[in-house]
């Protein structure tokens, strides 16, 4: 096939969106429906790889769709940061679809057609957001992403799910309408344009107070970045099926948030302006507080997914800090952390889902000793935890390294301490789980295990096997497609330690890309 | 000055009486009476406005030079027709309301409407 | 023929109304009304084209010259409004026959069309005419037929709602009559164009102030501007569904037109906004209206009530744009007049379809409707998103203009309030979506089917327009902007 890069760019947005129609049309034949999903995943990856190659050859890839109002256009322009995000999102879509097929069938979820179709829209929105050439286009896809993930959050349709959906939509829509839109209109008004431009679009003599206020509006308005106090939606969204939490609430949606922040910092404000704004320091501390508090809250959570959610809130804070530090290593660190955290966190969520499906357990206190039943899963969990913490030999090392460097360069010692402290807390809340899974302290926990198993017996026959924790412990891993997904993302975590060059190149190209 | 515009005083008085009846009375027919009074006051306003002191009816005749202004009269003819239609419609509505509610008292009608809602709530609770 | 377009616009539906009565058969009357309405649409398109290319079209009724005779004066503003009204009327008529079969007695079907055409005549007349007294006459033609149409509702509360509307409407119209009388007393003319030239000379008299007050209050009663909105929710909720769809999209727009025409053209910008503190007053009322009505909407269980309150809130948006009194602000208002007509008409038509299938629009009956009537519900969802102001819907375009207009004046606190109000819209729209999509259908509604084609076609035509004009804004923005500019005397 010999498609032009521009066409490929458009296709990469259209393919997932039109996949939705195909998924709805084939909804009554599950195998065909999943086939459609996988096929469109593969097409999307093919497009992404081609686009990546084109971009690294220095091609300019721009597409203009239409002009909504004079000067307000829907257009796309690929730059390295967007490429990075789009690559991750589309690659992980494939992996997650694979995982989801195993998970959804094994868990006998209802409304699977709605699930897959909304999923496809969400990915299309994420790609569109990644390639947006101006704030307005970004905003359109940002809202589309919110709306398309809402049915996924309320998937179960229970009263709890609906309540969570209300929180989710309430916070995301409100912040985006009240703060984000206001910031966009004001930017339009102050700068006269919304196009992303390296070095910012504000003129040099812009009022610092106004620009500073706009920055606050942007950071608050992008609720998807889950900066406290607008983070409540993320734990609430954990009521969704695990693949949703994995891809959307560890990768696509939250990364769309921090991606937007990065993009706005670099391409709307510009690093020079950013470093002199009066509000930057305040926002940095806010993000720091978000990092630390979320880590602390995560420690208290017994529900595995909730713990992971708060961990995400904390890690998103890292990226925001990196963006606001306004140095090149900060931007590189943030961009790389988008990728590293994505792979790490998605693996963790996959593992949480696998445990739920195979053993019907969602509470951490019930998970002692499960390493014998799910050795592979728990090992993957261990590796991914290392990546989140930022210890070799995992990819997370690099991004945290750069972020640390950035705090040192700008002499933000307090933030450096915050980041280090948070990493320590990461160890405290992530590692005990695999540790206890493999080395359960049996004497003290037999009692609780029995209790837990009695409860589990009621629901699931599978759990009976875990009652005989001392005698016979059959291996009971997740369904094969899910397991494959876990292995792939775990290997990626490791591979990114050894071979981070492509990511590093993309991340460092963000600041040196053409005007 | 004040006496010179006495027609306006009368118009305003009539208007206020009409409005007061519309607001204060619960009986639907009386409300219509008030409404009609209110409209009529405006007609008087137009008609009196057209009067030119010393002028006669606007009929062409050789020895008359000063006429009253005929235009407001023509306008008000239209307005009267409209008012009649309104009154007729209002009265027919009252007839239907009487048939449906068995009353033409505002309070009673509202009580019945609220009753329905209260009943619904009770049924829901039950 | 082309020269007579302005009067044909009004005469055609007026003449057609009694013909409907002769036709007797409901089906025939329906087809005939549809034909007539399409004809008015065609005329309005031609008129708009003519106005956009060659400027104001003036038509002297009966050949009497302008200040003495009645003049129909079509400029960009009313050509735009004529198009909206006749287009909405035609689209709504498509679904009319199916809808009234369920809601109105068989023997009244023909009468329904007579009244429908008369109210169409009234609205078109208000907009087309350039004569102040003529406005009153057409206002009453529109109103009287409206009262009768509302009273046709099944529920007996429709009668009560109609009666209340009649009282309020008559008071409003009489106020306008008083105002017109006072203006005539001071200037000796009824022609709006003429008035606008003569009023400045006598602008500082108490009579003109009084005239202004009476006229504005009268129009605001018709507009259902907060706090004069009490007649509207019940009238919308208990009227036959199809009537609600028509009025929600047109009646308040006509009043909005009248307000703009009177303040900008007749009394003039400097009088309305400098001599009289209309700006502060309307800004406050608009904002209050938005918040109070949106909050009330959240607590409604009758969905028609809910969207009626939402309409009052949307009028608030228009008033805010109006009170900015700049070209951008007025463009925002005019755009919203057009956009709101599109979304509300789609929503109320969809509700008419729900009534057709379920017989009621209580929120409780919406259980699981997302699966039983997917297309109808999808239209409500799109309309709702548009009300919230999501990008790629028309709602976003008008909101964008409104925000820009506010920021131009540096009124960012108002901009923040406007954005906050959108959250209230999110809440009331989402109450419906949650029930419709995440609840199982009630047992006694298990067999509910999708609405018939005659509903779906107009509903989706409007919904697609809703999205189309959110994407391709050239037409709507161009016309609205041109109209706003002409009111400010700016030549583009």
Q: Cβ atoms within 10 A of the Cβ of C66, count?
A: 18
Residues of C in contact with B46 (CB under 8 A): 181
pLDDT band at A453 (very low <50, low <70, confident <90, very high): low
Residue of C nearest to B22 (CA): C167
Assess contact for C127 and C82: CB atoms under 8 A. yes
Please check whether residue C208 lies inside any domain of the structure.
no
Sign of CA dihedral C263, C266, C268, C272: negative
Question: pLDDT tens digit string along A416-447?
Answer: 888 888 888 888 888 888 888 888 765 445 55
Quickly list DSSP for A204-218.
Answer: TT--HHHHHHHHHHH
Q: Answer whether C391 sits within 8 Å of A140, measured CB to CB.
A: yes
Question: pLDDT tens digit string along C231-260?
Answer: 899 899 899 999 999 998 898 899 999 999
Q: Answer whether A68 sits within 8 Å of C407, measured CB to CB.
A: no
Mean pLDDT rounded to a whole number for chain A: 83
Assess contact for C211 and C267: CB atoms under 8 A. no
Q: Residue A68 is nearest to which of C404, C422, C471, comparing CB atoms?
A: C471
Structure confidence at residue C287 (pLDDT): 92
Q: Per-residue pLDDT for C432 more than 70?
A: yes
Which ranges in chain B belong to alpha helices (H)?
6-24, 28-50, 71-101, 106-125
Please check whether residue C452 lies inside any domain of the structure.
yes
Q: Which one of A185, A186, A193, A194 makes the best mutation probe of the C interface by having the most chain C beta carbons within 10 Å?
A: A185
- Work out the end-to-end distance of chain B between its first and last CA atoms, rounded to an integer number of angstroms: 70
Please check whether residue C85 lies inside any domain of the structure.
no
Please check whether residue C121 lies inside any domain of the structure.
no
Please check whether residue C118 lies inside any domain of the structure.
no
Instruction: State how far the alpha carbon of A375 is from the alpha carbons of A185, A275, A380, A473, C299, in Å.
Output: 53, 48, 9, 11, 53
Residues of B in contact with C137 (CB under 8 A): 78, 82
Please check whether residue C473 lies inside any domain of the structure.
yes
Instruction: State how far the alpha carbon of A179 is from the alpha carbons of A147, A183, A221, A230, C423, in Å.
Output: 17, 6, 4, 12, 12
Q: Residue B93 is nearest to which of C136, C151, C170, comparing CB atoms?
A: C151
Shortest Cα distance, chain A CAs vs residue C249, angstroms: 24
Mean pLDDT rounded to a whole number for chain B: 85
Q: Per-residue pLDDT for B74 more than 70?
A: yes
Structure confidence at residue A513 (pLDDT): 59
Q: Answer whether A69 sits within 8 Å of C416, measured CB to CB.
A: no
Higher pLDDT, A480 or A219: A219
Q: Answer whether C400 sits within 8 Å of A185, measured CB to CB.
A: yes
Structure confidence at residue C169 (pLDDT): 92
Whether the pTM exceeds 0.95: the reply is no
Q: Which chains neighbour B (Cβ–Cβ under 8 Å, 3 or more pairs)?
A: C
Q: Answer whether B93 sits within 8 Å of C166, measured CB to CB.
A: yes
Q: Answer whether C163 sits within 8 Å of B49, measured CB to CB.
A: no
Would you put residue A499 in left (φ > 0), alpha (ψ -120 to 50) or beta? Answer: beta
Of the listed ranges B59-73, B108-122, C275-289, C330-344, the least confidently predicted one is B108-122
d(CA C112, CA C157): 19
The candidate with the shortest Cα–Cα distance to C467, out of C397, C399, C363, C377, is C397
Structure confidence at residue B3 (pLDDT): 61
Q: Answer whether C178 sits within 8 Å of B49, measured CB to CB.
A: no
Kindly list the structural domains of chain B, giving each domain's residue range(s) and its CATH number in brackets, ordered by start: 6-125 (1.10.287.3510)
Give the alpha-carbon dihedral of C94, C100, C106, C109, to 10 degrees: -50
Q: Per-residue pLDDT for C79 more than 80?
A: yes
Helix (H) or strand (E) holding C286: helix C278-298
Q: Which two tokens stand for residue A41?
A: 């995943």
Q: Per-residue pLDDT for A468 more than 60?
A: no
Of the listed ranges B51-55, C117-121, C192-196, C426-430, the least confidently predicted one is B51-55
* Percentage of residues of chain C with pLDDT beyond 90: 37
Q: Answer whether A139 sits within 8 Å of C391, measured CB to CB.
A: yes
Q: Answer whether C171 sits within 8 Å of B38, measured CB to CB.
A: yes
Please check whether residue C314 lies inside any domain of the structure.
yes
Number of domains in chain C: 1
Residue C73's beta-bridge partner residues? C58
**Which structural domain, as residue segments, surrounds residue C295?**
278-492
Q: Per-residue pLDDT for C144 more than 90?
A: yes
Would you put residue B102 in left (φ > 0), alpha (ψ -120 to 50) or beta? Answer: left
Residue of B nearest to C132 (CA): B75
Report, as an integer, the average pLDDT of C4-30: 87
A70 phi, psi to nearest 5 deg: -50, 120
d(CA A252, CA A257): 9
Structure confidence at residue A67 (pLDDT): 81
Residues of C in contact with A147 (CB under 8 A): 385, 390
Question: pLDDT tens digit string along C39-48?
Answer: 999 999 999 9
Shortest Cα distance, chain B CAs vs residue C410, angstroms: 42
Q: Which two tokens stand for residue B38?
A: 């209110």
Q: Which one of B14, B73, B86 makes the best mutation probe of the C interface by having the most chain C beta carbons within 10 Å?
A: B86
**A418 Cβ neighbours under 8 A, 6+ residues apart:** A288, A291, A292
Quickly list DSSP for C218-257.
Answer: HHHHHHT-TTS-THHHHHHHHS-HHHHHHHHHHHHHHHHH
Residues of C in contact with B38 (CB under 8 A): 171, 174
Quickly list DSSP for A3-70.
Answer: --HHHHHHHHHHHHHHHHHHHHHTTTSHHHHHHHHHHHHHHHHHHHHHHHHHHHTT---EEEEEEEET
Quickly list DSSP for A322-349.
Answer: HHHHTSHHHHHHHHHHHHHHHHHHHHHH
Please check whether residue C15 lies inside any domain of the structure.
no
d(CA C278, CA C480): 22
**A397 Cβ neighbours under 8 A, 6+ residues apart:** A387, A390, A391, A497
Q: Which two tokens stand for residue C277?
A: 């503190």
Shortest Cα distance, chain C CAs vs residue B64, angstroms: 22
Shortest Cα distance, chain C CAs vs residue B65, angstroms: 19
Structure confidence at residue C306 (pLDDT): 92
Shortest Cα distance, chain C CAs vs residue B121, angstroms: 12
Please state the separation of Cα C267 from the chain's center in Å: 23
Instruction: State how far the alpha carbon of A268 is from the alpha carbons of A60, A85, A86, in Å.
Output: 20, 18, 20
* Percentage of residues of chain A with pLDDT beyond 90: 2
ipTM: 0.91
Q: Per-residue pLDDT for C64 more than 90?
A: no
Of the listed ranges A14-23, A176-185, B53-62, the least confidently predicted one is B53-62
d(CA A407, CA A386): 22
Collapse the DSSP code of C388 into the 3-class scheme (helix H, G, I; strand E, B; otherwise coil) and give the result: helix
d(CA A339, CA A399): 9
Higher pLDDT, C227 or A450: C227
Question: pLDDT tens digit string along C128-138?
Answer: 998 889 999 99
Assess contact for B100 and B106: CB atoms under 8 A. no
Structure confidence at residue A108 (pLDDT): 73
Collapse the DSSP code of C5 into the 3-class scheme (helix H, G, I; strand E, B; otherwise coil) and give the result: helix
Q: Per-residue pLDDT for A63 more than 50?
A: yes
Q: Which two tokens stand for residue C436?
A: 């419709």
């Amino acid at each position: 096939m010999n498609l032009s890069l521009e066409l490929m760019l458009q296709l990469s947005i259209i393919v997932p969106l039109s996949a939705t129609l195909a998924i709805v049309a084939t909804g009554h034949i599950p195998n065909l429906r999943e086939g459609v999903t996988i096929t469109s995943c593969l097409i999307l990856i093919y497009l992404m790889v081609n686009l990546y190659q084109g971009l690294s050859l220095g091609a300019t890839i721009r597409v203009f769709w239409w002009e909504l109002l004079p000067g307000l256009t829907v257009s796309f322009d690929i730059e390295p940061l967007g490429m990075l995000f789009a690559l991750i999102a589309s690659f992980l879509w494939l992996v997650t679809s694979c995982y989801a097929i195993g998970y959804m069938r094994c868990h006998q979820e209802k409304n699977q057609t709605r699930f897959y179709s909304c999923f496809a829209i969400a990915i299309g929105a994420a790609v569109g957001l990644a390639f947006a050439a101006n704030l307005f286009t970004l905003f359109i896809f940002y809202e589309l992403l919110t709306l398309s993930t809402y049915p996924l959050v309320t998937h179960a349709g229970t009263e709890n799910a609906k309540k969570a959906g209300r929180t989710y939509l309430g916070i995301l829509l409100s912040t985006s309408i009240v703060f984000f839109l206001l910031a966009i209109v004001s930017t339009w008004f102050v700068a006269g344009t919304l196009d992303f431009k390296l070095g910012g679009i504000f003129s040099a003599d812009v009022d610092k107070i106004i620009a500073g206020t706009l920055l606050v509006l942007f950071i608050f308005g992008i609720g998807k970045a889950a900066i406290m106090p607008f983070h409540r939606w993320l734990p609430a969204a954990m009521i969704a099926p695990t693949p949703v939490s994995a891809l959307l609430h560890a990768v696509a949606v939250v990364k769309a948030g921090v991606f937007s922040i990065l993009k706005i910092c670099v391409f709307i404000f510009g690093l020079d302006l950013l470093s002199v704004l009066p509000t930057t320091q305040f926002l940095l501390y806010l993000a720091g507080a978000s990092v630390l508090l979320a880590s602390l809250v995560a420690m208290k959570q017994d529900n595995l997914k909730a713990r992971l959610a708060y961990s995400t809130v904390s890690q998103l804070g890292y990226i925001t800090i990196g963006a606001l530090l306004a140095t090149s290593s900060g931007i590189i660190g943030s961009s790389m952390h988008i990728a590293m955290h994505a792979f790490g966190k998605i693996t963790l969520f996959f593992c949480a889902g696998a445990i739920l499906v195979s053993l019907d357990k969602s509470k951490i206190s019930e998970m002692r000793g499960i390493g014998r039943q799910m050795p592979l899963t728990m090992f993957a969990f261990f590796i991914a935890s290392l990546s989140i913490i930022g210890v070799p030999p995992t990819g997370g090392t690099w991004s945290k390294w750069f972020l640390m460097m950035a705090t040192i360069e700008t002499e933000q010692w307090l933030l450096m301490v915050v980041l280090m402290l948070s990493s320590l807390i990461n160890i405290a809340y992530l590692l005990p789980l695999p540790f206890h899974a493999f080395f359960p302290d049996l004497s003290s926990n037999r009692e609780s295990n029995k209790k837990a198993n009695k409860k589990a017996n009621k629901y699931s026959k599978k759990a009976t096997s875990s009652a005989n924790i001392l005698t016979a412990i059959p291996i009971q891993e997740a369904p094969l497609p899910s397991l494959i997904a876990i292995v792939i993302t775990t290997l990626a975590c490791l591979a990114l330690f050894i071979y981070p060059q492509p990511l590093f190149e993309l991340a460092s190209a963000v600041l040196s890309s053409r005007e | 000055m004040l006496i010179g515009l006495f027609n306006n005083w009368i118009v305003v008085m009539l208007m206020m009486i009409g409005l007061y009846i519309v607001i204060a009375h619960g009986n639907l027919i009386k409300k219509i009476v008030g409404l009609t009074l209110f409209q009529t006051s405006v007609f008087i306003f137009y008609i009196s406005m057209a009067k030119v002191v010393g002028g006669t009816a606007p009929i062409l005749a050789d020895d008359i030079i000063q006429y009253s202004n005929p235009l407001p009269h023509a306008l008000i003819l239209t307005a009267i027709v409209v008012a009649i239609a309104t009154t007729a419609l209002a009265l027919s509505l009252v007839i239907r309301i009487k048939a449906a509610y068995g009353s033409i008292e505002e309070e009673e009608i509202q009580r019945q409407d609220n009753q329905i809602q209260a009943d619904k709530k009770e049924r829901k609770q039950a | 023929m082309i020269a007579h377009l302005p009067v044909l616009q009004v005469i055609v539906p007026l003449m057609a109304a009694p013909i409907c009565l002769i036709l007797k058969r409901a089906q025939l009357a329906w087809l005939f009304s549809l034909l007539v309405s399409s004809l008015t649409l065609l005329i309005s398109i031609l008129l708009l084209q003519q106005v956009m290319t060659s400027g104001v079209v003036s038509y002297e009724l009966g050949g009497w010259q302008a200040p003495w005779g009645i003049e129909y004066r079509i400029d960009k503003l009313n050509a735009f409004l004529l198009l909206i009204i006749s287009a909405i009327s035609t689209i709504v008529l498509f679904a009319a026959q199916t809808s009234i079969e369920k809601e109105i007695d068989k023997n009244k079907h023909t009468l329904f069309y007579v009244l429908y055409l008369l109210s169409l005549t009234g609205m078109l007349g208000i907009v087309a005419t350039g004569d102040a007294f003529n406005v009153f006459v057409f206002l009453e033609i529109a109103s009287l037929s409206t009262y009768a149409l509302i009273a046709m509702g099944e529920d007996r509360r429709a009668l009560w709602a109609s009666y209340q509307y009649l009282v309020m409407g008559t008071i409003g119209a009489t106020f306008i009559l008083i105002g017109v009388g006072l203006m005539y007393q001071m200037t000796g003319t009824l022609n709006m164009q003429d008035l606008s030239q003569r009023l400045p000379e006598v602008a500082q008299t108490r009579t003109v102030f009084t005239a202004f007050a009476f006229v504005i209050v009268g129009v605001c009663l018709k507009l259902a501007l907060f706090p004069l909105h009490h007649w509207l929710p019940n009238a919308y909720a208990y009227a036959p569904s199809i009537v609600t769809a028509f009025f929600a999209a047109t009646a308040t727009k006509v009043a909005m037109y009248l307000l703009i025409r009177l303040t900008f053209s007749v009394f003039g910008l400097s009088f309305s906004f400098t001599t009289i503190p209309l700006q502060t007053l309307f800004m406050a009322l608009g904002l209050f209206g938005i918040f109070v009505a949106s909050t009330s909407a959240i607590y409604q269980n009758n969905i028609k009530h809910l969207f009626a309150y939402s309409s009052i809130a949307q009028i608030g948006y228009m008033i805010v744009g109006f009170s900015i009194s700049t070209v951008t602000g007025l463009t925002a208002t005019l755009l919203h007049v057009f956009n709101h007509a599109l979304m509300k008409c789609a929503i109320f038509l969809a509700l008419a379809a729900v009534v057709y299938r379920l017989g009621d629009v209580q929120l409780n009956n919406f259980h699981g409707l997302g699966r039983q009537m997917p297309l109808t519900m999808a239209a409500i969802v799109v309309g709702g998103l548009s009300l919230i102001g999501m990008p790629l819907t028309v709602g976003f375009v008008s909101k964008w203009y409104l925000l820009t207009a506010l920021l131009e004046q540096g009124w960012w606190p108002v901009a923040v309030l406007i954005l906050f109000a959108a959250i209230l819209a999110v809440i009331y729209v989402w109450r419906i979506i949650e029930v419709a999509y995440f609840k199982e259908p009630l047992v006694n509604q298990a067999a509910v089917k999708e609405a018939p084609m005659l509903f779906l076609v107009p509903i989706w035509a409007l919904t697609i327009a809703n999205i189309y004009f959110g994407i391709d804004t050239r037409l709507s923005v161009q016309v609205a902007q041109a109209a706003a500019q002409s009111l400010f005397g700016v030549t583009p």
